Chains A and B, each alone.
Chain A
């Protein structure tokens, strides 16, 4: 790939989730040249892993499809997948970005037929389902993946499985000789849309996420409820596959905690309220959801959704941060211990399944970034320098709606930088 695809008039967007796609498309639709770099093999990010959105309970696939159509219809955006920014130097209007592009082992001839996947026998944990199930080592990341192109896991390259995949491909799309590439791009502005990752629940020791199979995270529960997920949309406990009808939701699992994440992650209350409705839809009046909370943070119009869930007889609320979880060895139930602060009653309540509403941690935590970028005490980007801007969850813990608003604003600021640079060059 040559570096000539980019100039100082180009905007580099780092991260291809909903915020990165939005920032890239808004700028591209204003006529700017944009390079959208995504670390994973597909765009879509965490949004593509959601089953449904709150508060309308609609499907993220719908919004993703709209964005992908915009992307396909716009010649100004150049998408680079499996591309990670390793360095950025320079100043406003004149940055040099170094990107490492990992080998996909599948070139643009791929038709997405899936023959390679059938030919391969090795299986790897499926990151799309947070490792709850396995997939073939030649895979399409998910149904909405963009580009619709298979990926070979590096583990099978150089093995008979790799050769089998190559032999199975009728269009000659598999190239086992691909190597990691490093490219340099000249860009005028950078939008950091690096997003978030779920907090590592195993660090919350008293909840036993690493010890008890029936303690799962909210993002895993989201995958479980999705018909395309590991259980085909059935709410089953991981330990024995029993139908999980009595589900506990534990709020602030990591968030608002100086020992873990000091910020409120903002989305978790609404996510759990939403997920109680999955339980209700699955089991009807037999469903039983219990939300353990410090306080419910359903901001502005989300209050209506909260009220609706409060009226639902299958959902109860216990004002308490759960102190610890133990597992009943006989039944496999998880028993939640704590004190209900409304009346100060102690409880030890068994549930089929405990869902930890894990907080949002910035993806860039622990990553070496350009010196211009200043992070706040939680690791979110506070200021990114003169010609660099942060968008979406790189800025703060945001829901999809607010991430998109934030990304549009970041895009506008990047466009201003490009326009000013162009004026200087023209003068």
Chain B
């Protein structure tokens, strides 16, 4: 699927990003001042700060950009958007790139943000409501059974507290609550998927 979709753009990664990545058309507007990188509170945790990612896109470094974990490090604090002298929606571009890399299957495996987001989404679309209990358990056990038990024990008091406050229902383990119109929900998601596939070049 992906090979087919991006083949015409292989030699021009910037154009591919502009066409397929949400807010990707802004990338060419970056003037490389570096204020986003300097303003990022997690900047020292990134392999490539935003303006370097933008330059790499322009330089056609497709593999390096899409397999990078940098855009997954964004916490959406919006400091870069606020300070960008050209008002690039940097946070949104980072999320657009992350999503695109994920759709192509190039996102780094086991990257915590990516793993969590995937679990969250899969949990959500089942019934249209997040099942807090199964979502938490899935997160605890994502790194194996032993680590899962350790995580669960570590979070025990918080879990009990949430149950007492009626914020967590143990009966949710049986499937949990959802939206009324289940088939409508699935149809809606399928349609949204179809539109996204078309916009991002994944349509067959």
B35 contact set on A, CB distance < 8 A: 321-323, 338
The docked-state distance in angstroms from the alpha carbon of A346 to that of B86 is: 22
B38 contact set on A, CB distance < 8 A: 320-324, 337-339, 346
Q: Pick the interface stretch among A141-149, A237-245, A254-262.
A: A254-262
Binary CB contact string for chain B from 31 to 67 against chain A (1 if under 8 A, 0 otherwise): 1111101110001100011011000000000000000
B48 contact set on A, CB distance < 8 A: 344
The docked-state distance in angstroms from the alpha carbon of A324 to that of B40 is: 11
B37 contact set on A, CB distance < 8 A: 323, 338-339, 341, 344, 346
A338 contact set on B, CB distance < 8 A: 34-35, 37-38
Chain B's interface size range is 10 to 19
Binary CB contact string for chain A from 74 to 110 against chain B (1 if under 8 A, 0 otherwise): 0000000000000000000000000000000000000
Q: A321 and B86: CB pair below 8 A?
A: no
Q: A339 and B85: CB pair below 8 A?
A: no
Of residues 203 to 261 in A, which have CB atoms within 8 Å of B's CB atoms? 206, 252, 256-260
The docked-state distance in angstroms from the alpha carbon of A322 to that of B86 is: 15
Chain A's interface size range is 20 to 34
Q: B34 and A341: CB pair below 8 A?
A: yes
The docked-state distance in angstroms from the alpha carbon of A321 to that of B31 is: 10
Q: Is A363 engaged at the interface, CB distance under 8 Å to the other chain?
A: no
Pick from A206, A260, A320, A344: contact of B33, CB under 8 Å: A320
Q: B83 and A258: CB pair below 8 A?
A: no
Q: B87 and A321: CB pair below 8 A?
A: no
A252 contact set on B, CB distance < 8 A: 33, 85
Q: B32 and A341: CB pair below 8 A?
A: yes
A322 contact set on B, CB distance < 8 A: 35, 38
Residues A346 and B33 in contact in the complex (CB < 8 Å), given A206-B39, A206-B83, A320-B38:
no
The docked-state distance in angstroms from the alpha carbon of A338 to that of B32 is: 13
Q: B33 and A294: CB pair below 8 A?
A: yes
The docked-state distance in angstroms from the alpha carbon of A321 to that of B58 is: 20
Q: How far is the CB of A38 from chain B (nearest CB, A)?
A: 34
Pick from A206, A258, A260, A339: contact of B49, CB under 8 Å: A339
Q: Is A421 engaged at the interface, CB distance under 8 Å to the other chain?
A: no
The 9 closest A-B pairs by CB, nearest first: A323-B38, A338-B38, A321-B33, A257-B85, A339-B37, A341-B34, A321-B35, A323-B39, A294-B33
